Amino acid sequence: MSTIVLMTVTGLGLAALYFLVASGLSLVFGLADVLNFAHGLFLSVGAYATWWAAGNLPGAGSDGWGFVLAVAFGVLAGTVVAALVELVMIRPLYSRTIEQVLVTVGLSLAGVAALQAGFGADPRPFPRPSWTQQVVTIAEARVPLDRLLLIVAALVVLGLLLAFLRWTRYGLIIRAGVENREMVTALGIDVRKAFTLVFAIGGAAAALAGALSGVYFGSVSPTSGASLLIFAFIVVVIGGMGSVSGSAIAAVAVGLLQQFVNYYGTSGAGDICVVALLAVVLLWRPAGLAGKAATA
Amino acid sequence: MTAERAGAPGPDGTVTAEERAVGTGTANPGGAPAAAERTAGPPADAASASLLQVADLSVRIAGLHILQGVSFDVASSGVTVLLGRNGVGKSTTLRAILGLTPRNGTATGSVRLGGEEILGRPTHALVKAGLGFVPEDRCVFAGLTVAENLRLAERTDAPDYDLVFSLFPELSKRAKQRAGSLSGGQQQMLSLGRVLLNSNRLLLIDEPTKGLAPKVVTEVAEALERAAQAVPVLLVEQNLAVVRRLAGDAVVIAAGQVAWTGPGEQLLADPALTKSLLAVNAAGGH
Ligand SMILES: Nc1ncnc2c1ncn2[C@@H]1O[C@H](COP(=O)(O)OP(=O)(O)O)[C@@H](O)[C@H]1O
Ligand SMILES: [Mg+2]
């Protein structure tokens, strides 16, 4: 029993990271048709900027409000980098899919190289607040607090995103644009402004995932973004392009499946099962769980 | 909704490609009297200035030369009807005016709105400048509610909900309903309502009665008639009863060019001419 609880919470923690990366990826693809392979870079920028801020930014640190400030700095860095990537590199290439893929793949490789050049190829110990390493007892299981932190953070982001999509003008434009971008322009709306916004939001969520994955794994390395990105892509496809709640459901399914199969089966079997799940969903519902129409 | 869609004349691509081939075959015999008509009568209304001038508009999409130098004027009041067989390029014309030619296509020539060249300007800017567009097949946002569809379309600080709800009371009753669950007629009303919320210089409306039940056709035609009292309309319409009711001028496209222009009444009063230019069903030959 206690093992199942611990596995569940750990799986949900993993799901939280997948969701934070996938939600932005999904909105960017759903609205702008951009398959953004550089999305993992935003995660790494968030992780390294948080790590750097904790050691160097006045007022920031590895505990209490200092850590909150460090994470805020990391999220800000990820947001700015994502918006710049859209404005400078993606915008000139809309509707040129192949070039776009090449640019984002190139950017992610260059980003990894730049991080290696700047901070070394080896993992760096991540400053994590000491309370995240404590445990609470839930149904006789001793659950580390860092997992609960990931879950709470993802739930807050999910709530904020859904509220944004539901209640704001830009949220309305994004939901409509995911359905039929051309018709949005035919109502007199410059939909490209929403592209930049969606990149920035996705960058912020991915950067937060970067900071939180640092807390969870205890270190950051230049390639950690790329490995999370693969599963985030799977989550996006399963959940349906452009659907935030679809991403949330798919992230939970993938996180739990991976965790349980890896524990009870041989290590690595969980990853294979995730790919199998992807295949099953695509055969059963080619547009993903949510389809392309429902964004919220 | 699906039922009404199924009633519509199938996916545009295949059907229209065939129709087009048929069209070019019969257009030449029909073309002679049309040309005569054009030169015989004086220009429809030289006195009242036209609002929109389309001159030598050519559109190529994916290697097909769909419009081959289309020229016509849209009067600054009333309804100008754009007619022609299925697949002749009516929608292509409206979309080219609005800058919606697909990326694998090009539109050349000239389109002037109030004397100003607008061909090539971005769609959103043209719509903001007062070109309201109601596309073929309505294109409402299925996942959004009726109220959200309307809110998205607001372009002014004072959107005219009174007008829209008086034309289509159904929309205010169904404000919270998802647009995807509306009937075809209700979707058409929503699509028209989105545009009529704002003040426009010209409305471009593409087959608003396509696939609708007769009773709904009447309702939509009434609404169009009322709207047209306030703003000029360029209307694509296949239903000749609706054309008869609304049309001021008529422009007929055949084989990629304008085959006839003149008062709508005159066109409809001549069954032989109407048949040679528009007989969509007769040409089917079942
Ligand atoms: N995006 C496109 N790609 C290829 N062919 C197209 C495209 N849009 C329209 N066409 C072709 O252009 C012709 C005119 O189409 P359209 O303007 O929709 O006709 P209408 O509205 O008069 O029925 C048709 O033969 C159609 O197949
Ligand atoms: Mg058409």
* Ligand located closest to B87 CA: 1
B122 touches chain A (CB under 8 A): yes
Instruction: Say if A162 falls within a structural domain.
Output: yes
Instruction: Say if A20 falls within a structural domain.
Output: yes
Q: Which fold has domain B75-100+128-278?
A: Rossmann fold (3.40.50)
For chain A, what is the domain count? 1
- Provide the whole-model pTM: 0.86
Q: In this structure, which amino acid lies at residue A19?
A: F
A172 touches chain B (CB under 8 A): yes
- When scoring B137, B144, B157 by the number of chain A Cβ atoms within 10 A, the one with the most, hence best to mutate, is B144
The burial class, CB within 10 Å (0-12 / 13-18 / 19+), for B69 is: middle
Q: Give the closest of A176, A186, A191 to B133, CB-based.
A: A186
Instruction: Say if A42 falls within a structural domain.
Output: yes
**CB atoms A176 and B155 under 8 Å:** no
Per-residue pLDDT 10s for chain B (286 aa) are: 333 333 333 333 333 333 333 333 233 333 333 333 333 333 444 445 799 999 999 999 999 999 999 999 999 999 999 999 999 999 999 999 999 999 889 999 999 999 999 999 999 999 999 999 999 999 999 999 999 999 999 999 999 999 999 999 999 999 999 999 999 999 999 999 999 999 999 999 999 999 999 999 999 999 999 999 999 999 999 999 999 999 899 999 999 999 999 999 999 888 888 888 886 443 333 3
The helix (H) or strand (E) run that includes residue B7 is: helix B2-7
Cα-atom radius of gyration of chain A, to the nearest Å? 19
**For chain B, what are the domain ranges?**
75-100+128-278
- Of A153 and A137, more confident: A153
| β-strands B50-61, B105-113 pairing | antiparallel
For residue B90, how far is the Cα from the chain centroid? Answer: 7
The nearest CA of chain A is from the CA of B119 a distance in Å of 15
pLDDT digits (tens, 9 = 90+) for B14-69: 333 333 333 332 333 333 333 333 333 334 444 457 999 999 999 999 999 999 99
Instruction: Say if A212 falls within a structural domain.
Output: yes
Please report where in the chains the tokens 């997948």 appear, as a residue: A18
Q: Give the closest of B125, B139, B152 to A172, CB-based.
A: B152
Q: Which domain holds residue A155?
A: 2-226
Supply the ipTM of this predicted assembly.
0.86
User: Can you tell me the distance from the alpha carbon of A79 to that of A284, in angstroms, rounded to the nearest whole number?
Assistant: 36
pLDDT digits (tens, 9 = 90+) for A197-209: 999 999 999 999 9
User: Can you tell me the distance from the alpha carbon of B220 to that of B216, in angstroms, rounded to the nearest whole number?
Assistant: 6
